[in-house]
A and B are shown apart, each in its own frame.
Chain A
Amino acid sequence: MTGRCGVVVAHGRLADGLLSALSRVAGEQNSLWALSNEGLAGADLEAQITSILADRCAGREAYLLSDMEGGSCGQACRRLLAKGTVKAVLYGVNLPLLVEFVFLQDEAFERFVTAAVEKGRRALGVHA
């Protein structure tokens, strides 16, 4: 394997915004790309994701990261997982999760996905 890469698929401009924020804290990277579902029907969204993966992720292990499991973005990701297009789909994407995605590239699969999702989960909190 020569690394991992993924597409962040989310509503509105969230994916672009997250990757913009990621580049500020982690520097420029070439393992994640952003896609919005704006104006895209289900099959078109799947086609766009597949096209990005073919262009940018050839030869690498492909992942999808989405904002909500049950939203149209998450549903498109799940369909591509069912087709075997990607290795896994991570939901509830946030900045700490993306940082782990970038920096845990060399970890084994189980540790990689578990640590990334756990980091994102533990980032949630409140002080009042």
Chain B
Amino acid sequence: MSVVLFRVDERLIHGQVVVGWARQLRPRRIIVVDDALAEDELEQSIYRTGIPEGIDADFWSEREAVRALPGVLKSSERVFVLTADLATMAQLTLEVEGIREVNVGCLHHGDGRRVLPYVRLDEGDERLIDEMSDRGVRVVARDVPSSAPTQLGAQARG
């Protein structure tokens, strides 16, 4: 599989991604899917400072991602795909064939239920996770590779 990590993380490109996951999975490219960020060069430059040498970064709108990700999935390039929220990732799993697993990293924001020290989920988040699970996508919280994975969603809750 060419996309080696689909991840939802409100911090997008940060230490856990470029140190923890990138050292383990060695991507050549990180694709951030975020409509606002795709239009914001200052924010892109801030995120680029965290990317190690040898890894490229692209900032795509959701529409661009839906159009181009099928090609990326068929390629041999090792890629991370990041979104800042579950809604964007859920949309990708709906429109792009071949996403089997989604990793959940930092989701601290909001007043949702605390599932893990780094994950809070409100009802809307739970619904999006259940929708992805119903489509056959495993949704697994894991901040760094050395952490134990925690499956999310109604199936995992029993």
Contact = CB atoms under 8 A, between A and B. Distances in A.
Interface in A29-54: 39-44
B108 interface: yes
A44 B49 contact: no
Chain B CB within 10 Å, residue with most, of A41, A74, A79: A41
Interface of A: 11, 39-44, 68-72, 74-75, 78-79, 82
Given A39-B108, A44-B108, A70 B10 contact: no
A82 B44 CA distance: 13
Nearest 6 pairs of A and B residues by beta carbon: A70-B50, A72-B14, A41-B109, A71-B15, A72-B11, A70-B49
Contacts of A79: 46
A72 B109 CA distance: 14
Given A39-B108, A71-B15, A78-B46, 4 more contacts: A41-B10, A69-B49, A70-B15, A79-B46
A11 to B, nearest CB: 6
B51 A70 contact: yes
B117 interface: yes
A93 B18 CA distance: 19
Contacts of B46: 75, 78-79
B129 interface: no
Contact of B13 (A41, A44, A70, A78): A70
B15 A11 contact: yes
B148 interface: no
B47 interface: yes
A82 B50 CA distance: 17
Nearest to B106: A41
Interface in B38-63: 42, 46-47, 49-51
Nearest to A81: B46
Contacts of A75: 11, 14, 46-47, 49-50
